[in-house]
């Protein structure tokens, strides 16, 4: 098992030497940096739009955790899938969804990835093996199991990376899923992105067992692992191990990643600096910021220059700004769209969709 090196400043150099990282081209490494920078710029711009009243409901920002989704997405093969909870912008952009469709979804516009029907918590891209975006804490954990079950049923060598937060580990559906995954040899990987707080409740106040949350796997005869969430090399090495287990042995794993969100549980979290200290937040931003650390790694390796980094940032800023303009100028869904996409058979006007009444307003 890896130990969580929280509050220690390891460079992850040992992980850089692993084969899965040795095989990286310079262009791959730059792409990871660009993806992280794009996620952060997208979210900063969405935060601005939220404060301007352009976005309704919730906005759960992933800022500080970008390396986790980007590293995981970088390993996906054609039969590898991802599903996550409501803090989903990072995962969506990491698998290749566009800023435009994601920003427009936040604005509730017809051009959004879910046509304005899902909002911030419900991004989907089945063509990119990305299955959401789920709003109920822990509710996606049986779905991730089902995706991996389907792969096995279909005889495909693949896996499903099912992300959850540290707050989801105490939900019953998660434990039922763990038991089924191990009992039936399902190639699912549960990735606990442990950012320390389930909304405003710290791990000490929510989980009885004081050690790694992933260690609960032992109760289900399942492998587990835990590693730092701010170094791309370490994350890729860790995810790769679990994915190999899924691909080669069709066995599940719980992976716990130590990470940190700089912002509140959601933008509307008025207490985000009450249940934790300002110093704690600053410490993470200053010492463990995944973008800064990856940038420094690439500078040290001579893969990029400071100017390259500034350029990446400028481009991401422009892309995010353009996505806000796109969202702003996009049309609202039509009123008739309210009752579209409810039933597949109705949408496709099949025989089944045409018999009987499906909607009851008149």
Partner 1 sequence: MSRQIDYRTAIREALAEEIERDPNVFIIGEEVAQYNGAYKVTQGLWAKYGDKRVIDAPISEAGFIGMGVGASMLGLRPVMELMFWSFAYVAFDQMINNAATVRYMSGGLLHCPIVVRGPANGGTNVGATHSHTPENLFGNMPGLKVVCPATAYDAKGLMKTAIRDNDPVYVMENTKLYGELWDVPEGEYTIPLGVADVKRSGSDLTLVAHGRAVITCLKAAELLEAEHDIKAEVVDLRSIRPLDEETVLESVRKTHRVVVVEENKPFCGVGAQITAMIQEKAFDDLDAPVARVSAIDAPAIYSPRLEEVQLPRPMDVVKKALSIC
Whole-number minimum distance, CB 357 to partner 1, in Å?
5
Element (H, E) at 100: helix 99-106
CB nearer to partner 1: pick between 15 and 174: 174
Integer Cα distance of 84 and 91 in angstroms: 8
Whole-number minimum distance, CB 355 to partner 1, in Å?
4
Integer Cα distance of 48 and 168 in angstroms: 28
Cβ-based neighbours of 191, under 8 Å, separated by 6 or more = 68, 72, 161, 162, 163, 164, 239, 255, 257
Please, what's the b/e burial string for 55-66 (b: 16 or more CB within 10 A of its CB; e: otherwise)? beebbbbbbbbb
CB nearer to partner 1: pick between 68 and 151: 151
Integer Cα distance of 163 and 221 in angstroms: 20
CB nearer to partner 1: pick between 132 and 238: 132
Coil, strand or helix at 255: strand
Integer Cα distance of 17 and 9 in angstroms: 18
CB nearer to partner 1: pick between 151 and 191: 151
CB nearer to partner 1: pick between 158 and 264: 158
CA separation, residue 65 to residues 15, 69, 130, 288, 289 (Å): 19, 8, 18, 10, 8
Under DSSP, the state recorded for 4 is: P
Integer Cα distance of 39 and 283 in angstroms: 21
Half-sphere exposure of 12 (CA within 13 A, CB side): 24
Whole-number minimum distance, CB 182 to partner 1, in Å?
11
Whole-number minimum distance, CB 340 to partner 1, in Å?
7
Integer Cα distance of 163 and 68 in angstroms: 10
Whole-number minimum distance, CB 284 to partner 1, in Å?
32
Whole-number minimum distance, CB 131 to partner 1, in Å?
6
Cβ neighbours around 313 below 10 Å, total: 18
CB nearer to partner 1: pick between 180 and 199: 180
Integer Cα distance of 362 and 356 in angstroms: 13
Q: What are the residues binding partner 1 (CB under 8 A)?
A: 83, 112-118, 122, 124-126, 131-136, 139, 141-147, 149-151, 153-154, 172-173, 176-177, 179-180, 183, 339-345, 347-348, 350-352, 355-360
What pairs with residue 284 in β-bridges?
none
CB nearer to partner 1: pick between 262 and 343: 343
CB nearer to partner 1: pick between 131 and 294: 131
CB nearer to partner 1: pick between 148 and 312: 148
Element (H, E) at 228: strand 223-228
Integer Cα distance of 171 and 174 in angstroms: 6
Whole-number minimum distance, CB 177 to partner 1, in Å?
5
Whole-number minimum distance, CB 238 to partner 1, in Å?
24
Whole-number minimum distance, CB 344 to partner 1, in Å?
4
């Amino acid at each position: 098992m890896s130990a969580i090196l929280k509050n220690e400043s390891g460079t992850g150099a040992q992980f850089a030497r692993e084969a899965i990282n040795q095989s990286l081209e310079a262009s791959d490494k730059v792409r990871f940096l660009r993806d992280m920078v794009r996620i952060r710029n997208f979210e900063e711009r969405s935060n601005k739009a939220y404060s301007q009243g352009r976005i309704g409901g919730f906005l759960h920002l992933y800022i500080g955790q970008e390396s986790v989704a980007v590293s995981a997405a970088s390993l996906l093969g054609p039969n590898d899938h991802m599903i996550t909870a409501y803090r989903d912008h990072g995962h969506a952009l990491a698998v290749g969804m566009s800023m435009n469709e994601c920003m427009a979804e936040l604005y509730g516009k017809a051009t959004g990835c879910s046509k304005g029907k899902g909002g911030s918590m419900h991004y989907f891209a089945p063509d990119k093996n990305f299955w959401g975006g789920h709003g109920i804490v822990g509710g996606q954990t049986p779905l991730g199991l089902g995706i991996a079950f389907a792969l096995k049923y279909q005889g495909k060598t693949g896996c499903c990376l099912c992300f959850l937060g540290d707050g989801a580990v105490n939900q019953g559906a998660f434990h039922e899923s763990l038991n089924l995954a191990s009992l039936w040899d399902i190639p699912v990987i549960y990735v606990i992105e442990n950012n320390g707080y389930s909304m405003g409740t710290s791990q000490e106040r929510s989980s009885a067992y004081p050690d790694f949350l992933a260690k609960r796997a032992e109760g289900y005869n399942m492998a587990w692992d835990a590693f730092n969430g701010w170094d791309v090399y370490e994350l890729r090495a860790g995810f790769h191990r679990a994915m190999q287990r899924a691909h080669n042995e069709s066995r599940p794993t719980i992976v716990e990643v130590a990470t940190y969100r700089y912002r509140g549980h959601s933008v509307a979290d008025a207490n985000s600096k009450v249940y934790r200290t300002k110093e704690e937040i600053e410490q993470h931003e200053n010492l463990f910021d995944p973008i800064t650390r990856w940038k420094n790694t690439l500078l040290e390796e001579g893969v990029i220059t400071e100017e390259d980094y500034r350029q990446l940032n400028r481009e991401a800023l422009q892309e995010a700004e353009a996505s806000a303009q796109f969202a702003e100028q996009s049309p609202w869904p039509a009123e008739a769209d309210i009752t579209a996409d409810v039933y597949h058979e109705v949408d496709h006007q099949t025989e089944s969709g045409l018999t009987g009444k499906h909607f009851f307003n008149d």
